[in-house]
Structure 1
């Protein structure tokens, strides 16, 4: 069994299939405030290389805020986010992406009229070395690089199950396959750390199963570390090697899926204190899961 870290989070050891050069992600004492409201209060956890680490919690727990700090959208008031030897705190999003961190958001952002292949090719942008002039003149070096990138795009599309629709407009795909295309585009950036913000939200049961299988394959076959925010607890419990639970901006629990599932603090956060009249949340009923993460 993995040992507890300095932040109290029990982190799984590195996955046997971890890709070379994938470092741990260490979050320490992360604090974010908005106009006097503390959205994150000294949150800490460690993502071991090549594992899936889930962030869960009720609405307003601070999960999306944490993701926005990890990807450079927000700046923390205090604390540290280190990806291997690199300090991410304060870096702009493009610098963080350049270090091998990719993210998919809750909402779709595919160009609807572009083909799936061209949409995925956008993910190769940070890896493109051809200059504007060489590309415009269609020099041999530019053509060779484009062929190489398109070959890699086709490989990744096949990996996630989209190899049969590369020529179709991205906007014509069913919703679940568009979400898979978002994931594939992130993989096209060859990340070492993948941030997945509600990857199965809005999907049918069958689409959720297929997407969960792809995410498991990313970890097991590609060895990429994954931080996952997801409200579908069935998906979390199947995929996560380790879980950190947030509530009102504070870390209240951490460990394996089974450990946090049975933690009294986690049960109280999701269902509220049990009164004589039955379980009730702090607003008179259980707090649901929604966009206000």
Structure 2
């Protein structure tokens, strides 16, 4: 539950690529058990920020902490092992594997039985396998794909494949979930269904969620807090309604971004 999940604190994170500043001293805090949206125009730095949070990219300065645990500079598998799961925008399910097997991949970091014990089907390994499969069925039911477990993942409709991706991440038993455009490419019905599942992840499971999403309707319905980036800088941070009406945010989305003074006429 949320009371067991520490805050995710991003402090003064700066990322540079070949002399270009992709993130410029960005700070925000994801409160436990909330949906925190990270939005901004294309090129604002959202993906770079996600890459820092998941360990794909190491910042030039700043820090990321989950409670008292320093995440900055850790490799992705270490960050995942500490309870941070990421879902990418593009589908990454093995298309010919069954949905159940795809979800079982998410249980890998929780497996205690060794390879030999599992291969020999020793009693302890068999019991652990049963527990993992039972948990997979529970999570599949939670997201609404319990009837698809025996199907090849690639045969599912796009919206259900995205839900299977979410279910696989939940099978990791994460404390923080990084969702990269979870409703992109979906029909209106699929967007509503997925948004409801994401809300359930927060409300029923108490998992903290960092959400990157271009659908502002979904953002405003789901988010408890919003951080807005533009040109790698944080230009707004707060409640969804306040951020939506912030003049700097309106200018950024309308393309009326403030130019540096030396370029102003």
Give CA-to-partner distance per residue, 1:18-59, whole Å, 9 cap, x none: 434200001000000000000000000000000000000000
Q: Are 1:271 and 1:281, in contact at CA under 8 Å, matched by a contact in 2? A: no
Runs of 4+ in 1 over 3 A off after TM superposition: none
171, 177, 180: which one aligns with 2:163:
180
Residues 1-293 of structure 1 mapped to structure 2, 5 A cutoff = 18-273=1-256
Distance 1:180 1:133 in 2: 33
Give CA-to-partner distance per residue, 1:49-91, whole Å, 9 cap, x none: 0000000000000000000000000000000101001110000
Q: CA RMSD in A?
A: 1.2
Q: Are 1:272 and 1:281, in contact at CA under 8 Å, matched by a contact in 2? A: no
Q: Are 2:3 and 2:32, in contact at CA under 8 Å, matched by a contact in 1? A: no
SS at the partner of 1:164? helix
Shift, 1:272, TM fit: 2.4
For structure 2, which runs of at least 5 residues remain unmatched after alignment? 260-265
SS at the partner of 1:142? helix
For structure 1, which runs of at least 5 residues remain unmatched after alignment? 1-17, 274-279, 283-293
Q: For this pair of structures, how many residues does the alignment match?
A: 259
Distance 1:272 1:98 in 2: 40
- Structure 1-normalised TM-score? 0.87
SS at the partner of 2:62? strand
SS at the partner of 2:27? strand
Q: Are 2:86 and 2:179, in contact at CA under 8 Å, matched by a contact in 1? A: yes
Shift, 1:281, TM fit: 10
